[in-house]
Structure 1
């Protein structure tokens, strides 16, 4: 209906590639990264009954911080019976970054949310490890006013948590996908079956009351994206009655 651009974020022209009218929206951050002392804050509201897929054209980068903590804060509210899929590209933590990432999702009655997050500790493709710095991350999801998912990560580079076999085991890529909404009791098992031959020991899925959580811990971002895309397809088909429709920006 209208578009106005102020500051570093741009909402590109929306697309409607799906038969049910689901709107694909690309959030573009031309600067491409968050420097020390900067705060990038985004607030998104979906009206009742809307269907929206949100993604980003490129990775979010947290650069080495010499002027204080870098922050990214996002708040998403989803109206009654609406569907929000927030599937951004990865977040890359450069060596020496000091980052805070805060995510809050509020769902009205009957609303559905699917969202994923990939954290790259350092830049493995450039042989850069995350040897200095820290990351603090918080994810909160509320459904019809009740908290249904809450998790926090506080990691300092070089700490025992990064190396321990029971924690990160020196792996550079962490992925989390959360699906909240109506779901059949066997949804998690459907995902496991679809990914059984491909996931090996790097992927897991759990189903709680009204929440399905997928995890990735491994060496390659491409592998994490491929596994989560397959899981998204299975969950979308089982819970929404339609297959995944990947935004075309992912192919560029």
Structure 2
């Protein structure tokens, strides 16, 4: 597996001043099923992307915490995560804190964050990161590409926060492009592209964000029948943070993918709702009860 790296250069072929201000990073992980547990067999990193030592709070499944000490992306930054999950391996990956895309420069230099995962047959990946905050004026692109083989399983979510409302900052300029792709044996199960442009009508209109600034999507490669969807909806509606006046939730099944959507104003409520759904879906996905990563308690 090779991680693509990008270099920014000026017309004269000299490195531009963007290089000095940007800090690209990449990490490549290979996880294989070993005796009694999934082991990290290979790690290759470039720049400030690291992992802590793996944790095994539930036996075979490997919990991995992905660390990015700078905490956010400035113009020109590129963060690439590549994951290769071998046959029968089980892994849960999360992050300790929210990601950030800071305001870009006058040239509108892009900030890229991408994950590419290859999941072999009989393997299961859970990708459960914290939210990504898009600052006013950012030029962010968020890519999520998952390649499944055979009966591989996946549960993944992505939460995007537009602006910093707690600091009085809305999302009036810049853009955020989010891509989410799931393939099984090369056949597309999901291919989504969402573009948020700062100050656009889409952020205010009822057909768009309806003046809300948090968007969350959860996907799982399992089949939930109508009865299961009804139970999940009822359970979600009973949670103390569920407020249908302040947020909209949607649960659906399309082809072989379960989908959950959140549109509201609270990343915390979105995370809690997704965690509830994850806890309900996990036994159907990989036969395991929910086991919260310890870092979520800090």
TM-score tier after normalising by the smaller chain length: over 0.9
SS at match of 1:129: coil
User: RMSD in angstroms over aligned alpha carbons?
Assistant: 1.6
Q: Return the alpha-carbon distance in structure 1 between the equivalents of residues 149 and 251 of structure 2.
A: 25
The residue number in structure 1 matching 2:183 is 142
Given that residues 224 and 253 in structure 2 are in contact (C-alpha distance below 8 angstroms), is that contact kept between their aligned partners in structure 1?
Answer: no
Deviations 1:36-80 (A, max 9, x none): 112111111111100100001111100000051111122111011
Given that residues 187 and 235 in structure 1 are in contact (C-alpha distance below 8 angstroms), is that contact kept between their aligned partners in structure 2?
Answer: no
Given that residues 187 and 238 in structure 1 are in contact (C-alpha distance below 8 angstroms), is that contact kept between their aligned partners in structure 2?
Answer: no
Deviations 1:128-160 (A, max 9, x none): 211111111111100122100011011211111
The residue number in structure 2 matching 1:220 is 266
Map 1:150-161 to 2 at 5 A. Answer: 150-161=191-202
Q: Return the alpha-carbon distance in structure 1 between the equivalents of residues 129 and 112 of structure 2.
A: 17
In our comparison, the structure showing a higher alpha carbon Rg is 2
Deviations 1:68-121 (A, max 9, x none): 111112211101110000000110001110111111100111110000011010
Deviations 1:147-194 (A, max 9, x none): 000110112111111001121001011100000146556432332121
Q: 1:187 to 1:77 in 2, by over 3 A?
A: farther
The residue number in structure 1 matching 2:74 is 35
Deviations 1:187-231 (A, max 9, x none): 323321211223343211111121000000011111111111001
The residue number in structure 2 matching 1:245 is 291
So what's the TM-score if we normalise by structure 2? 0.80
Q: How many residues were matched structurally?
A: 251
Structure 2 residue 57 is matched with structure 1 residue 17: yes
Q: 1:249 to 1:217 in 2, by over 3 A?
A: same
Cα distance, 1:3 vs structure 2:
4.9
Structure 2 residue 215 is matched with structure 1 residue 169: no
Map 1:186-225 to 2 at 5 A. Answer: 186-198=227-239, 199-201=242-244, 202-225=248-271
The residue number in structure 2 matching 1:26 is 65
Unaligned runs of 5+ residues in structure 2 are 1-40
Q: Return the alpha-carbon distance in structure 2 between the equivalents of residues 134 and 165 of structure 1.
A: 19
Equivalent position to 1:76, from 111, 117, 121: 117
Structure 2 residue 275 is matched with structure 1 residue 235: no
So what's the TM-score if we normalise by structure 1? 0.94
SS at match of 1:34: coil
Map 1:120-131 to 2 at 5 A. Answer: 120-131=161-172
Q: Return the alpha-carbon distance in structure 2 between the equivalents of residues 241 and 251 of structure 1.
A: 24
Given that residues 153 and 285 in structure 2 are in contact (C-alpha distance below 8 angstroms), is that contact kept between their aligned partners in structure 1?
Answer: no
